Structure 1
Amino acid sequence: MKISVLDAPVRKNLIFVLPGLILYGAFVLGPIVAAVVISFTRWNGLSLPSFVGFGNYIELFSDSRFFTALKNNAVLMLFYCLAPLALGIVLAAIIRSIKTREQLALRTLLFMPYIMPSAVLGIIWQWLYNPAFGPINQGLKIIGLGAIALPWLGDFTFALPAVGAVAAWYYFGFCMVIFLTGLQRIDPSLFEAARVDGASPFTIFRRITLPLLLPEIRVVLLLTIIASIKSFDLVFTMTRGGPANATLVPNIYMYELGFHLNRYGYAAAVAIIGAIIIFIVNYAVHRFVRPQTEGAR
């Protein structure tokens, strides 16, 4: 009798959960499982897949273009993660110290790039970087710095930093809002007590603000690192991985393998390696970036 009494509410709840589970299985879990299976095959999208075991992965780890993409992605992480994080903390501290009306206007203005689709921003910045008529080079020539007016997206050295600078500009407003939220939950009496004790602003930031913002720092790191590993639309609209693989990233390489070369099994292996890297990074951030109260436990 007890089993039947317990089973009725469980079945009733499952009715409400089932549509979500079906959608999750069809559009999330199913494609993930399919990608894993396809990564062990050689498939051109038309003929039947042929099983090759770990052949795609073995070939991948001897693929120089793949390692070039990983190296470029590691450089982009500095622009996607560290630069927005540092700018976000500094701007959050500055904005919190000004009046409410000006604070709202500045916060809205600085957050605006993040509400725009990154693909659209990529097209806009491609025009801004244009070496012939782009406003950046034209402005440099007007102020007498025409010698450093470069073909930014066509230069082997500066193409990747140029794309990274746009990514930093895109994400710093998001980071700033997260840190402003974190600053609002910190008790103001802590700052007042530190000032009474004669602590300098830098000491207050290092000893009070930064440790208490560790939960927000962890969230920002997780989201921006994942975004950097998944980077595609911004790079694709600005450079398509060029010039000569200077801005090639794993997702662009995966796109080329699948839709240009019809090597879907090999492209799926690139996707699986990217997913594994995301899991490893997530674990590292959760493991090493923890508030002191969590570390004590």
Structure 2
Amino acid sequence: MKLRSKLDAPVHKNLIYILPGLILYAAFVFGPIVSAVGISLTDWNGLGLPTWVGLQNYAGLFSDERFYLSLKNNAELMVFYCVLPLGLGIGLAAILWNMKPREQLMLRTMLFLPYIMPTAVLGIIWAWLYNPAFGPINQGLRLLGLGSLALPWLGDFTFVLPAVGLVATWYFFGFCMVIFMSGMQRLDPNLFDAARVDGATGLQTFRTVTLPLLLPEIRVVLLLTVIASIKSFDLIFTMTRGGPANATLVPNIYMYQLGFQLNRFGYAAAVAIIGAILIFTVNYAIHRLVRPADEGAN
């Protein structure tokens, strides 16, 4: 017994050091998650006592057309949040990698600048740029004699989603580029020399050497951009508030409308829980599908 107590003593001492972190995690992460799950099982207007309804809120989501519309819009926005920034980022990283250090530093800094700004501020700025009456985009088109292309970008049912999505692409592609350039720094230069000796062109070297070796960075970029797309709120809220006619409605905007405009906090919490499940599901799929060859072998 004495020997066992001596062996257990260091463990108890270590728990003292991690206890503050556990308390903060429980208070600000785990606690709100558990509360959201509990609220999602109730009918609550935010003022009175919640009424237990079980899985009724979740059953209602399966027949909610607006919820399906928000998921559809979110899926389309993933192209602008994930696919385009990834493609532009890796292409620009390959171009900048062959430049001189001074030019590379200057361009890398300029392209990364949008990412350091709050997305809510960017939404306000781009809403002004898209303004159909005095916005610089339409004014520039009119000066070039292309007045027929001047549209109410944020009021057009066809172009509003791409208009908002392009702002997200502009925000994320510099971040993706920096991630890929940091990944290129760890690659062995001898591999590129060997490919050059074998007669591979620049495109062939990029496709067969650079791209497979950057799979860890591609996975990180996909994880972060997918999470950002599913959690998208502030950019869309400041630009369109989900309009026109729900053309840019996404789950987080819908959750905001349900909770803070309609006082249906239980139903809004159910939307939030479904969003969290989607994030975990998509991230698990990315972890399983986007893996380097050596990791997949293990």
Q: Report the RMSD for the aligned CA atoms in angstroms.
A: 0.7
Aligned to 1:188: 189
Aligned to 1:115: 116
**Cα distance in 1, alignment partners of residues 207 and 266 from structure 2:** 49
Post-superposition offset of 1:237 = 0.4
Percent of pairs identical after alignment?
Answer: 75
Q: Secondary structure at the residue paired with 1:150?
A: coil
Amino acid paired to 1:107: R
After superposition, what is the alpha-carbon deviation per residue over 1:134-177, rounded to whole angstroms, capped at 9, x for unaligned? Answer: 00001111111110100000100100100000000000011000
Aligned to 1:278: 279
Aligned to 2:65: 64
Post-superposition offset of 1:188 = 1.1
Post-superposition offset of 1:7 = 2.9
Q: Secondary structure at the residue paired with 1:246?
A: coil
2:292 equivalent to 1:291: yes
Aligned to 1:132: 133
Uncovered stretches (5+) of structure 1, i.e. residues with no partner? none
Post-superposition offset of 1:15 = 1.7
- 1:92-107 residue pairs with structure 2 within 5 A? 92-107=93-108
**Cα distance in 1, alignment partners of residues 149 and 20 from structure 2:** 58
Post-superposition offset of 1:22 = 0.7
Aligned to 2:243: 242
Amino acid paired to 1:275: A
Q: Which runs of 4+ in 1 moved over 4 A?
A: none
Aligned to 2:200: 199
Aligned to 1:268: 269
**Cα distance in 2, alignment partners of residues 145 and 280 from structure 1:** 45
- 1:2-81 residue pairs with structure 2 within 5 A? 2-81=3-82
**Cα distance in 1, alignment partners of residues 197 and 136 from structure 2:** 49
After superposition, what is the alpha-carbon deviation per residue over 1:106-137, rounded to whole angstroms, capped at 9, x for unaligned? Answer: 11111000000000000000000000000000
2:267 equivalent to 1:256: no
TM normalised by structure 2 equals: 0.98
Aligned to 2:163: 162
After superposition, what is the alpha-carbon deviation per residue over 1:67-103, rounded to whole angstroms, capped at 9, x for unaligned? Answer: 0100000000000000000000000001110001111
After superposition, what is the alpha-carbon deviation per residue over 1:213-242, rounded to whole angstroms, capped at 9, x for unaligned? Answer: 000000000000000000000000000000
Q: Secondary structure at the residue paired with 1:185?
A: coil
Amino acid paired to 1:220: V
After superposition, what is the alpha-carbon deviation per residue over 1:238-285, rounded to whole angstroms, capped at 9, x for unaligned? Answer: 000000000000000000000000000000000000000001101100
Post-superposition offset of 1:178 = 0.4
**Cα distance in 1, alignment partners of residues 239 and 4 from structure 2:** 61
- 1:204-215 residue pairs with structure 2 within 5 A? 204-215=205-216
Q: Secondary structure at the residue paired with 2:185?
A: helix
